[in-house]
Amino acid sequence: MHDTQLKELAGRTVLVTGGAGLIGSRITSHLRQIGARPIALCTLDAYPRHTYRDLFGVDASHPGVIIGDVQDTALVKKSPTPTT
């Protein structure tokens, strides 16, 4: 996506699957920078928990982080809108 297309996401809620992982955490961070409200959906089972926090900057207790599997349709449908 070009920057102009990304800017169209400002003010919108965006679900990022794998959003707490190596690449997803960077996508989530960039979305926040442009004013979007990303929700990171991730199983948090690929790395030790401290890696998500210390290396990727992901706080698992943040309301914009949902721990779960994208295949869980009920979880995806009830994904909250983050407040920050």
**What is the pLDDT at residue 6?**
81
- Region 6-15: what's the mean pLDDT? 91
The CA-based angle 70-36-56, given to 5 degrees, is 60
Instruction: State the average pLDDT for the chain.
Output: 90
What CA–CA distance (Å, rounded) separates 50 from 54? 6
- Region 9-22: what's the mean pLDDT? 95
pTM of the model: 0.84
Q: Which residue has the higher pLDDT, 83 or 30?
A: 30
**What is the pLDDT at residue 79?**
77
**What is the pLDDT at residue 83?**
54
Per the structure block, which two tokens stand in for 32? Answer: 């926040």
User: Could you say which DSSP state residue 66 is in?
Assistant: E
